[in-house]
A and B are shown apart, each in its own frame.
Chain A
Amino acid sequence: MTGYLIRRVGQAIVVVFGVVLLTFILSRIIPGGAARAALGPKATPLQIHTFNVANHYNVSIYQQFWIYCWDIVRHFYLGYSYKYNQSVVSLIEGRIPKTLVLVGLSTLFALIVAIPLGVLQVVRRNTPVDYILTGASFVGYAMPAFLLGELLILWFAIDLHWFQFEAPQSTSVIGILSDPAGLVLPIFSLAALTIAAFSRYMRSSMMEALTEDYIRTARAKGASPTRVLFRHALRNALIPIITLLGLTLPAIVGGAIITETVFNYPGMGLLTTNAATQNDVPLLIGTTFIAAIATVVGNLIADVLYAVVDPRVRYA
């Protein structure tokens, strides 16, 4: 396992480097250049030249990339966003905790709801309960996130005044968590899709697990249906879910652009989208860098957890 981990970390470094390099190169071919994107297209040639010199855009692309990488190694400096007038690191530092809270809590909520729902659907399979829950899952899966969010705000916040119309506006994690009422609607809005998806995964995973030989053996040995379900089938059925969780880490870090937009909650989703649409080159590279790290780490965690949970899996 140690050797496997070392190899995977090495691969991860290569992948992240490749992603950053590709993004860096692509960012240099944006029409107009980073200077024009930052200054506006009517910047005079003189102002563009001044900007380029100040930000090293006047040297070769190799030198630019070297400077960029060296700044990361020395100070973990990912550049400066002139659109926000903040360093990329401070922008990401400010947004990631908010995103982790929102998306993390919604994923947790989705799991808490989806796993029992999936089990219930298996226990009551091919009954009206199963059909209703399946239908609800499809509706949840198909519902556009922005529509669900706006409807929830309209009904529960503006008309009924049960909840707030926007997510907590605090910039600190403690401030956000101390306003749980503000988190209800955005978490539910974001979790709806995940509940639908995870409950379907759980249902099929459980059904597959219940057909295995060890289940028949357990029953033959006199195990109760509850013991068979929760002690034997569920634990094995959770393995794919754990894998999926690892693969959702990039999404957790990457944010939820639509939920953030509807619920007035600026997180990583909006930050990344704005970086792309506004040609904010340093921020675009920085958020891509973070997303790449999250992706490779998520994959690694998924693989490791898979081996931990399933003793049959061993990595050389």
Chain B
Amino acid sequence: MNSLRWTRQGRHAVAASAVVAVLALAACGGGSSAGGTTGATGQATSGGTVYFAEGAQAAPNYIFPFAALQYFSTTNLNQFQMLMYRPLYWFGKGATPDLNLPLSLANAPKYSDGGKTITVTMKPYKWSNGETVTAQDVVFWMNMMKVEKLNWAGYAAGTIPDDLASVTASGNTVTFTLNTNANSNWYTYNELSQITPMPMAWDISAAGQKSGSEACGTASFQDVTVTSTSSTVTPVSAAAKSCAAVYTYLTGQAKKLSSYATSPLWAVVDGPWKLTHFDTSGNVTMVPNPKYSGPVKPKLAKFVELPFTSDSAEFNALAAGKVDVGYVPPQDISSNATTTGTCGIKPGANNPRLANYNIVAGSTWQINYFPENFNSTGNGGNAGKIFDQLYFRQAFQMLVNQPVYIQHIFKGYGVPTYGPVPVCPQNSFASSELSLGNPYAYNPTKAKALLKANGWTVKPGGTDTCNDASKCGVPAGTPLDLDLQYVSGSVSEDQLMQAEKSSWAQAGIHVNMTTGTFDTVLGNAVPCGSSSSNCSWQMANWGGGWIFAPDYYPSGEDLFQTGAGSNSGSYSDKTMDSLIDATTKGNSSLSQYEVYGAKQLPVIWQPIGLTATEINKKLAGVTPLNPLTNINPETWYFTK
């Protein structure tokens, strides 16, 4: 990675296979699988220890669910915290990204008053210390969010908690009252998804204090008052000050990694697992929480996560039979998978050294793309203007041969991206129009014709030049010579970029490629104005696009709305803005926004490389793989 990381504002999958591996290692019972044999048959047994491979150099390192941006990662949340501390709502049902009410702490949220009032009824869950998971535990989280929103990874100005007029707890019911209407899907999937109830045992500011000693957990949302400027939040009321003190204490405790398994603080869990061992290398051991109230109780005796320094070290562990659920690095896939339809992946024969494993593939809830900088001053000030031309973006996209790249570079373990909403796994959000196929399928003839029709002299293998400024949109004589920086350290990304460079060259689009580390590429690909001193970057590919988590509803307000923080290329389109607003504030579905985004090409869509998961043949319940990277080892069991 690498480090493995996504944030509410920037859910960029780390290019390294570690993250892709992590994304593939998710499980939930029920639903359809994207492909592959689905696990062991035989009589179910109780007990046993499952060894789970963490992504290479992607060990968990933060236990407190109220995490700042630097700790907000798949490894920390989906494969560590959420096994112990359940979020209010669980997402991922089978192989779909849908809301999973059976695994949620609350019943379905009820929207009323035009979508401004949301009523959430808690289920009778218990914390491991015997206390009930109450509506007030939800308010505890909201109070913390009000005071420490600048330290909350998921915070964006104007969204939760800014959009709340009030949050009240009464019995086992929480009532959220919004300042303005919100799309119910959007609010459930993107806002309520951020809430993790916290136990009163955490409402302390020093060791040894009694549960609920500070007022943060017990105060009402209204009693927590702060003053905010554009860059600060200052607690005013006593309750707010206690929230600040509690936050300081809990984050301080969260920095003591060696105490995670022994601290009485972190031992209060409501999830199916509790931590018994944790070390700074990333070795994690969990055992079942006997007080877990959820519908599926763990059958295993122990769940162990193992850290690895590299993909090859993890593969060696698989080959030695040390790991029960792992991943096979792309270079060790011995036989291609075959694609059936858009999303179906039928794995090929397994690597001969992994005869004791079943190989499985599953889509991840993400899109892959790279942005073009619409304000770029590169190419003599013309790069941004070139990207502004829809015909150019169309021609550029039509030279990206996703099916071929999936088959030959990803060895069949991949799915395409057609637009801003994932088409795979099959889901209720994707437009039926795009489910029929790519609106810009590979067609070099059409791409060349489009460039010619718009005033370019096309020189296959050379560099096109504009011969008619009125059609090109740029001055006559401008060469079609562009720069693209992509992430280094990934063989598949290297192959993909070189293949695309060759493809673009056949239409005379000359792309100069450079590489950089993941952080360097991302650091360069920031929104900038054409008048700023450093806006020369043109295209940047960090290799992973965008993962929709914890904002599971793929609306585009973070990505493609004018001025959005993650709108790297500064794409701006009034129609797009209003379509996005309709999906977040109105009651529109995503369909119109999705189709418009697919056809307008705010970015260049790329295929998604998936990692093949290896599952011990004697282990069942792991599939279908969850596309949101969640794992549910409580559903896993050995067979005999």
User: Residues of A at under 8 Å CB distance from B?
Assistant: 30-33, 36-44, 46-47, 49-51, 82-86, 90, 94, 146, 150, 153, 157-158, 165-166, 169, 171, 260-266, 270, 274, 277-279
Contact = CB atoms under 8 A, between A and B. Distances in A.
Contacts of B307: 264, 266
B542 to A, nearest CB: 8
Contact of B62 (A36, A85, A169): A85
Contacts of B408: none
B231 A46 contact: yes
B261 to A, nearest CB: 13
Given A32-B519, A47-B69, A171-B281, A277 B231 contact: no
B520 interface: yes
Interface stretch (B3-11, B38-46, B102-110): B3-11
B2 interface: yes
A173 to B, nearest CB: 14
A46 B156 CA distance: 9
B1 interface: yes
B280 A261 contact: no
Given A32-B526, A37-B519, A43 B69 contact: yes
Given A38-B70, A42-B566, A50-B150, A86 B257 contact: yes
B283 interface: yes
B459 interface: no
Contacts of A265: 309
16 contacts: A42-B9, A42-B12, A43-B69, A44-B565, A46-B230, A47-B9, A50-B150, A51-B70, A83-B70, A86-B257, A90-B280, A150-B316, A158-B320, A264-B316, A277-B2, A278-B1
B71 interface: yes
Interface string B67-93: 011110000000000000000000000
Nearest to B542: A41
A5 B628 CA distance: 61
A29 to B, nearest CB: 11
B309 A277 contact: no
Contact of B61 (A30, A51, A84): A84
Contacts of A82: 70-71
A86 B69 contact: no
Contact of B353 (A30, A40, A158, A274): A158
B491 to A, nearest CB: 14
Nearest to B71: A85
B12 A274 contact: no
B517 A279 contact: yes
A32 B524 CA distance: 7
B457 to A, nearest CB: 35
B309 A264 contact: yes
A51 B198 CA distance: 25
A157 B320 contact: yes
A40 B231 contact: no
B157 A169 contact: no
Given A32-B519, A49-B231, A171-B279, A42 B309 contact: no
A166 B313 contact: yes
Contacts of B7: 39-40, 42-43
Interchain residue pairs A-B with the least CB separation, the first 4: A42-B10, A32-B523, A41-B522, A264-B313
B164 interface: no
Nearest to A41: B522
B49 to A, nearest CB: 15
Contact of B519 (A42, A86, A278): A278
A266 B257 CA distance: 17
A240 to B, nearest CB: 35
A42 B70 CA distance: 11
A224 B566 CA distance: 80
- Residue from the set B6, B11, B320 with the largest chain A CB neighbour count within 10 Å: B320
- Residue from the set A41, A82, A83, A278 with the largest chain B CB neighbour count within 10 Å: A41
Contacts of B11: 42
Given A40-B9, A41-B522, A150-B312, 19 more contacts: A32-B523, A38-B70, A41-B568, A43-B565, A46-B150, A46-B231, A47-B69, A49-B231, A50-B151, A82-B70, A153-B316, A158-B353, A169-B281, A264-B307, A277-B2, A277-B489, A278-B518, A278-B519, A279-B517
Contacts of A31: 520, 523-524
Interface string B552-589: 00000010000001101000000000000000000000
A312 B35 CA distance: 75
Contacts of B353: 158
A46 B233 CA distance: 11
Contacts of A37: 519, 523
Contact of A39 (B69, B518, B520): B69
Contacts of B281: 169, 171, 266
A46 B157 contact: yes
B569 to A, nearest CB: 13
- Residue from the set B69, B307, B565 with the largest chain A CB neighbour count within 10 Å: B69
A165 B309 contact: no
B255 interface: yes
A270 B309 contact: yes
Nearest to B60: A85
Contacts of A36: 519, 522-523, 526
A239 to B, nearest CB: 38
B435 interface: no
B525 interface: yes
Contacts of B2: 274, 277-278
Given A41-B12, A44-B157, A166 B5 contact: no
Contact of A277 (B70, B254, B517, B565): B517
B319 A165 contact: yes
- Residue from the set B11, B70, B310 with the largest chain A CB neighbour count within 10 Å: B70
A33 to B, nearest CB: 8
B316 A158 contact: yes
A46 to B, nearest CB: 6
A72 to B, nearest CB: 20
Contacts of A278: 1-3, 517-519
Nearest to B70: A82
Interface string B25-62: 00000000000000000000000000000000100011
A111 to B, nearest CB: 27
Contacts of B525: 41
Nearest to A32: B523
A85 B526 contact: no
A40 B522 contact: yes
Contacts of A94: 280
A149 to B, nearest CB: 9
Given A50-B150, A171-B279, A40 B69 contact: yes
Contacts of A279: 517, 519-520, 523
Contacts of B280: 84, 86, 90, 94, 171
Contacts of A40: 5-7, 9-10, 12, 69-70, 522
B328 to A, nearest CB: 15
A261 to B, nearest CB: 4
B317 interface: yes
B308 interface: yes
B326 to A, nearest CB: 13
Contacts of A85: 61-62, 71, 254-255, 257
A158 B319 contact: yes
A63 B566 CA distance: 32
B302 interface: no
A95 to B, nearest CB: 10
A39 B309 contact: no
B231 A50 contact: yes
B524 A264 contact: no
Nearest to A42: B10
B522 A261 contact: no
A85 B69 CA distance: 12
A162 to B, nearest CB: 12
B19 to A, nearest CB: 12
Interface string B603-620: 000000000000000000
A51 B231 CA distance: 11
B324 to A, nearest CB: 16
